[in-house]
Amino acid sequence: MKRATIRTTHENASAIAAALSPDNTPEMHMTVTDDTIELTVERETTGGLQSTVDDYVVNLTVAAQLTNNPKSESNNE
């Protein structure tokens, strides 16, 4: 079994983790402590591990951007 652990810190870690958790599989374990998100992923193959980590990092980046920069209301007048 291949394993990777990713730790990131965010002012709004709980909100980001909540946005990411629906995509987690049983082989992914996420914890949030204060401002830190820790994700451990286990996969049978190196390729599977790499794909899962890549997907997580992309989703994490988007979630962090959206929680830091919420969409402002536009005025179409």
Helix or strand holding residue 22 (H, E)? none
pLDDT in tens, 11-63: 999 999 999 999 899 999 999 999 999 999 999 999 999 999 999 999 999 99
pLDDT at 47: 96
- 4: exposed, middle or buried (Cβ count in 10 Å: 0-12, 13-18, 19+): middle
Nearest to 2 by CA among 47, 60, 59: 47
With respect to residue 74, please indicate whether it lies within any of the assigned structural domains.
no
Q: Which residues constitute the domain of residue 58?
A: 2-68
With respect to residue 75, please indicate whether it lies within any of the assigned structural domains.
no
With respect to residue 73, please indicate whether it lies within any of the assigned structural domains.
no
5 is written with which tokens? 């652990």
What are the φ/ψ torsions at residue 54 (nearest 5 degrees)? -60, -50
pLDDT at position 75 over 60: no
pLDDT at 19: 93
Q: What is the CATH number of the domain that holds 53?
A: 3.30.310.50
Handedness of CA 62, 7, 41, 52 (dihedral sign): positive
